[in-house]
Chains A and B, each alone.
Chain A
Amino acid sequence: MTGPTWGSARSAEQLEQRVSVEADGTVVIRSGKVEYGQGIRTGFAAIVAEELDVSMDQMRVVLGETDQVPWDMGTFGSMSTAVDGQQVRAAASYARTVLLERAAARWGVAVAQIDTKNGCVVGPGGRSISYQELTAGAPLTGVVPQGPPNSRSRATMVDSPRRLEARGIVTGSIQYPADVRLPGMLRGYALHGASPGARLVGLDDRDAREMPGVVAVVRDQDFVGVVARRDEQALAAARALDARWDSEPPKAAGLTDVLLRRDADVEFAFARASLKLVATYHVPHIAHGSIGPSAAVADVRDGGTDLYVATQRPFAMRDAVAKLLGQSVERVRIHPQAMSGLYGRGNSGDAAIDAARLSAAVRRPVLVQWTREDEFRLSPHRPELDAELQAAVDSSGAIVGWRSEIRTNPHTYGDGPGSDTMVAMTSGRNAVPPYRLGRADVLLHVAPGRVRTGAFRSLAAAPNVFASESFIDELARASHQDPMAFRLRHVEDARLRAVLEIVRERSEWDSRARIDGRGLGVACAVYHGTYVAEVAEVVVAAGGGVRLTRVWCAVDAGRLVLPDGARNQIEGSVQQSASWTLLEELGVRAGEVTTTTWREYPIATCLDAPQSIDVVFCGDASTPSSGIGEPGSVPIAAAIANAVCDACGARVRRLPLTAAAVDRARKEPA
C-alpha cells in the first residue's frame, strides 16, 4: 500500500486493506500503527472481537508491515485507539454487514433474521455458516462506509483480555530487532560524529582491517562503519578506526515565534489586579531511556530490501531507506519487531539507516546494535523548556490576567520547526492552561536546542504543564486559597471538574491529617481529549530528598477498550514521569551530550516505586475513546513539585527535584 492517504481521505478505505478472512478461519486485521508495549495489538483485536464476533485467538493483527497495511503517518500522540482504532472498528463492523448480507442471500432470508456468533453467521432453524465459507473464492471487499461505525460493542467490557504478546515475553521467545537471525547475517557497527551533520575529514582504517572477524570497512562520504562476523568484533574494529570529524557550526536559522493566544486588554487586567505574580520555570534535556538501545537488521539485495526494526514510523523509514538506496518504495519492506518502549525515540531510524548502508555495501544481511553510550550521545532528546509566567488575581481571588512566554526547542524532526500550526501542536502543546484566565497572552519561541532534540512522550505537554500547574499552585497559595478549590473555581469543563473531584475524594484531600514533612500536591491536564488529574503524596527528608509515596489518578478517556491495559499505561506513565521529575537531567557541554552510562543518568528503580498508584477511570462508555499512552505522564511533575511545597515550603521551579534543589529552595524566602 503506497501513497499517503491521510486526512479526510482516510475515511474512504477499502475493506480489504483492513480485514480479511483466511481459509482456516483466521481473521486478519491490518493497521499501520505499531506495538511497543502500549497494547494496541491486543486493543485492536478486542475491538474486532466485539464488532465481528470472533475470539481473539482466531485473529492475527498485522501492524506496520509496509507491504501489507494501509499507509500511516506514525504511532505517536496517543492516537492509535482514538483514530486508527475507529478505522479498524468501522472496517470490522462493515465486514460483519457484508458477511450477514452474503449469508442472507445464500439462505434466502432477511438480514434481520440472522446474526453472527463466534466466527459464523447463524440463522433460523439452527443454520450456521463460517466466515471462511462465506469468503471462499470471494474475499471481503468494498468501501468502508464513512461516519461512525454501526458499533455493536457492549457498553462495558466484562473482562480485560491478556495481552497477545504476554506469553512470548515471559518465556523469552518474543523477538526484538536484535534477536532476528537471518542466514548469512553479519554484524555491523557505524561511527558517528558527535553532532548531526559532522563531516568525516580523515580516516585511517589500517588497524581496523586487521582485526579478527572483520569482513569490510565501509566508507561512503561521511559514513563509516565496520562489518564483522561477530558483534564484539564489529565494535572492537570500529573502535580501532581513526576517524577525524569536522563538526559544522549549528545552523543559525530556525527560530520561530508563535502566538498561541493574545486577548485584548491584558495590560488593563494586570493594572487593576490586587495580586500579581511572576515566576520562571526550567525543564532540562532528558533522555528517552529505552532499555533496549536501537537495533536493526537490514537485508539489502538488488531486488529489494527487508528491514527488521523498531520504529514508530514504518512508512517514513521505508521512504528514507528507499531514497538512500535508490530503490523504489515498493521494493523496501519494513518489518516492525517487538520494541523496547520507545516514547518518541522511534521517530528517527538511526540503527536502521546504519544497517541499510552496511548491508548495501556487503550484500549480506547485517545486524546493527547501538551501544548504550550511542543512545545517550547520539539520540535526539527531549527539548529544554524555559517559561516565564505572570498572572493577575483580583480581590475576589479570581485570575483576571495571564501571560506566558515560553522558550523551547523543536519537538519534531527535520530541517526546520515546521509551520506555525505544527509548532503550536508540538512545542506549544498544553501551553495554554485549561482554566478561565481572564485576559491572556501566550507566546512561544522555538529555537534549536543545545543538543539534537525530537519527539518525546507527550511532546511539550509535560514540560508546559509542569510550569503552568506549578504556577497555578503558587497563585493559590499567594492568594490564600486551597490549590484544589482554586483550580475548581477556574474550571468550566465538566469532565475536567469530574477528574479533579475524584482525586480530591480518593486522596482525602480535605480531611487528611497534617504531618510535618509529608505533603499532597495536585495537577491536571486535558491532553488530546483525555482528562487527567493526579494527586501526589511525598515525604521530604531532612536533607531535602523527596520520596514519592502515593499517587491518585482520575482519567476520563471516554470508552475504554482494554481497561486493565489502560490502567497499566497510566500507572507506567506516572512511574516514568516521576523518574523524569525527581532524577533526570542529561549532561551537556559545548553542544554535546556528556552522559554515557546509566551510572551518570540514574532512573527510577523498584526501590523508588510509590507504595500505590490509584487509578480511577470515569469516562462515559458512550464517549469515543481518546488516548491513554501519554496523558498520565503530563501532570505528575507539577503534582510532585506542589506536594514538596506543601510538605516543607520549598518551591522548586527547576527540574529535577533533587535533594539539593529542595534543600536550597527551602532556605530561600518565598
Chain B
Amino acid sequence: VTPVDSTVHVRLRVNGEDRDVGVPRGTALLGVLRDDLGLTAARYGCGHGACGSCYAMADGRAVATCMMPVEDAIGKELTTVEGLARSGTLHPVQQAFLDEDAMQCGYCTGGMLISAAALLATNPTPTELQIRTALAAHLCRCGVYGRAIRAVQRAAAGLPR
C-alpha cells in the first residue's frame, strides 16, 4: 500500500512551456499529460507500451508515455500532438495526413504523427521500410497503414532540402 503523502512535485517542459504539477510518485507521464495538464491527444490504449496511442516526443524521440514515470520526464523537452502545430500552421506531417486522409477513427493518428515527426526530424529522406518501421509501433485497427505510409512520404517530399 502506497503511503498517502507520496506526492511528488515536478516541473515539466511541455510544448515549449514550463508546467508544474504535484502528482503521486511514479505516476505515468500519460496520466499527467491527460489529467493534470489537459493534453488529451496522447491516449490510453494498453498501458504497456504495445499499441502506440500514447506517444509523445521526449528530447526528439518518440516514447510511450504510459511506460514513463513522470520523474523520468523531468528535464526533457516534451512535445505532444497539441504542440506539433506552430502558431496555427500545421506540422508537415499533420498536413500530409490530412491531404492523404490517412485516418479513420483517429484514435491512433496522434501517435503516428509523433513517430512520423520524430523520424523526419532526424531523417528527412526515409526509405519506405524506414517509414514502415517507424510507424510499426502504432496499432491501427481501421487499417489506414497504406495511407499513413503515403502521408509520411508526402511530408518528406515537401521538406526543404
- Chain A residues close to B by CB (< 8 Å): 36-39, 162-163, 165-176, 178-179, 181, 207, 210-213, 230-233, 236, 240, 288-293, 338-341, 343, 369, 371-372, 564-565, 568-569, 571-576, 579, 597-599, 603-610, 612-613
User: Given contacts A169-B106, A171-B85, A172-B80, are A609 and B145 in contact (CB under 8 A)?
Assistant: yes
What are the residues of chain A within 8 A of B53 when measuring CB–CB? 291-292
Per-residue 0/1 for B18-50: is the Cβ within 8 Å of any A Cβ (1 yes, 0 no)? 000001100110010011001111011111101
In the assembly, what is the distance between CA of A162 and CA of B98, in Å?
Answer: 8
The residue in chain B whose Cβ has the minimal distance to the Cβ of A292 is B107
Contact: A230 with B35, CB < 8 Å? yes
Contacts of B97 in A (CB 8 A): 170
* CB-contacts of B56-84 with A (<8 A): 80-82, 84
Binding site for A on B (CB under 8 A): 1-4, 6, 23-24, 27-28, 31, 34-35, 38-41, 43-48, 50-51, 53, 80-82, 84-85, 90, 94, 97-98, 101, 103-110, 113, 131-133, 135-149
Given A172-B41, A597-B46: A568 and B105 interface contact (C-beta under 8 Å): no
Interface pairs A-B: 8 shortest CB-CB: A172-B41, A575-B143, A37-B105, A169-B106, A37-B104, A572-B143, A609-B145, A172-B81
- Give CA–CA (A383, B38) in the complex, Å: 40
* Given A166-B98, A169-B103, A173-B82, 5 new contacts (CB under 8 A): A231-B35, A289-B141, A571-B147, A598-B139, A607-B136
Alpha-carbon distance between A197 and B38 when the two chains are bound, in angstroms:
38
Find chain B residues with CB under 8 A from A179 CB.
34, 40, 43
- A627: min CB distance to chain B, Å: 16
B144 touches A572 (CB 8 A): yes
Q: A230-B24, A571-B147 are in contact. Are A171 and B82 (CB under 8 A)?
A: yes
CB neighbours (8 Å) of A210 from chain B are 1
> Which of B24, B138, B143, B146: most chain A CB closer than 10 A?
B143
Chain B positions within 8 Å of A598 at CB level = 46, 48, 50-51, 139
Looking at the assembled complex, report how far the CB atom of B81 sits from the nearest CB atom of chain A, in whole angstroms: 4
A564 touches B109 (CB 8 A): no
A289 to B6, CA, bound (A): 36
Q: Assuming the A-B contacts A172-B110, A212-B4, are A232 and B146 also in contact, with contact meaning beta carbons closer than 8 angstroms in the complex?
A: no
**A172 touching B145 by the CB < 8 A rule?**
no
* Distance between Cα atoms of A236 and B25 in the complex (Å): 14
Kindly identify which residue among B28, B34, B45, B106 contacts A37, using a CB–CB cutoff of 8 Å.
B106
B43 and A292 contact, CB distance less than 8 A: yes
CA distance A603 to B45 in the complex (A): 14
Contact indicator A207/B1 (Cβ below 8 Å): yes
Contact residues in A for B27 (Cβ distance below 8 Å)? 230, 232
The answer to whether A232 and B24 have CB atoms under 8 Å apart is yes
Residues of A near B143 (CB, < 8 A) are: 571-576, 579, 604
- B contact residues around A181 at 8 Å (CB): 38
What are the residues of chain B within 8 A of A168 when measuring CB–CB? 106
Q: In the complex, A123→B139 CA distance in Å?
A: 54
Q: Pick the contact of B31 from A174, A231, A564 — CB < 8 Å?
A: A231
Bound: A598/B98 CA distance, A = 28
- Residue pair A341, B1 in contact (C-beta under 8 Å): no
* B104 touching A568, Cβ below 8 Å: yes
Which residues of chain A are near B138, meaning CB under 8 Å? 605-606
Q: Which of B47, B80, B109, B136 contacts A605, CB < 8 Å?
A: B136
Q: Is the CB–CB distance between B107 and A606 below 8 Å?
A: no
By beta carbon, the residue of chain B nearest A35 is B105
CB distance from A294 to the nearest CB of B (A): 11
- Determine if A571 and B146 form an interchain contact, defined as CB atoms under 8 angstroms apart: yes
Contacting residues, chain B, for A340 (C-beta < 8 A): 105, 107, 141
Give Cα A575 to B46, complex, Å: 21
Q: Report chain A residues within 8 Å CB of B109.
A: 169-170
Partner of A339, one of B28, B43, B105: B105
Given A167-B98, A575-B146, A291-B1 contact (CB < 8 Å) = no
Q: Is the CB of A371 within 8 A of B38?
A: no
Cβ of A574 to closest chain B Cβ, rounded Å? 7
Given A232-B31, A292-B53, A371-B47, A341-B107 contact (CB < 8 Å): yes
Question: Complex Cα distance A135/B132, Å?
Answer: 53
CA distance in complex: A280, B46 (Å): 36
Q: How far is the CA of A377 from the CA of B4 in the complex (A)?
A: 31
User: Which of B24, B40, B90, B141 touches A175 (beta carbons < 8 Å)?
Assistant: B40
Q: Could you name 21 residue pairs across A and B whose Cβ atoms are closer than 8 Å? A: A162-B101, A166-B98, A166-B101, A171-B81, A176-B107, A179-B43, A181-B38, A230-B24, A232-B28, A291-B51, A291-B140, A293-B44, A369-B44, A371-B47, A372-B45, A572-B104, A574-B143, A603-B139, A604-B143, A606-B145, A610-B146
A contact residues around B46 at 8 Å (CB): 372, 597-598
Measured between beta carbons, the chain A residues less than 8 angstroms from B131 are 606
A236 x B2 contact (CB < 8 A): yes
Instruction: Point out the residue from A37, A288, A606 that lies within 8 Å of B149, measured CB to CB.
Output: A606
Q: Which of B31, B53, B147 has the most CB of A within 10 A?
A: B147
By beta carbon, the residue of chain B nearest A565 is B101
Nearest to A290 among chain B residues (CB) is: B141
Bound: A650/B143 CA distance, A: 27
Q: How far is the CB of B112 from chain A (nearest CB, A)?
A: 9
Contacts of B48 in A (CB 8 A): 372, 597-599
Task: Point out the residue from B105, B107, B146 that lies within 8 Å of A609, measured CB to CB.
Answer: B146
Q: Is the beta-carbon distance between B44 and A178 smaller than 8 angstroms? A: yes
In the bound assembly, the distance between CA atoms of A170 and B83 in angstroms comes to: 11
Shortest beta-carbon distance, B104 to chain A, in Å? 4
Q: Taking the nearest CB of chain A, how far is it from the CB of B148, in angstroms?
A: 7
Q: In the complex, which of the residues A171, A338, A339 has the most CB atoms of chain B within 10 Å of its own CB atom?
A: A171
Q: Are B98 and A170 in contact (CB under 8 A)?
A: yes
Residues in A with CB closer than 8 Å to B84 are: 171
Nearest chain B residue, comparing its CB with the CB of A343: B141
A613 and B146 form a contact (CB under 8 A): yes
Closest to B113 in A: A170
Q: Given A211-B1, A232-B31, A291-B45 in contact, is the A341-B104 Cβ separation under 8 Å?
A: yes
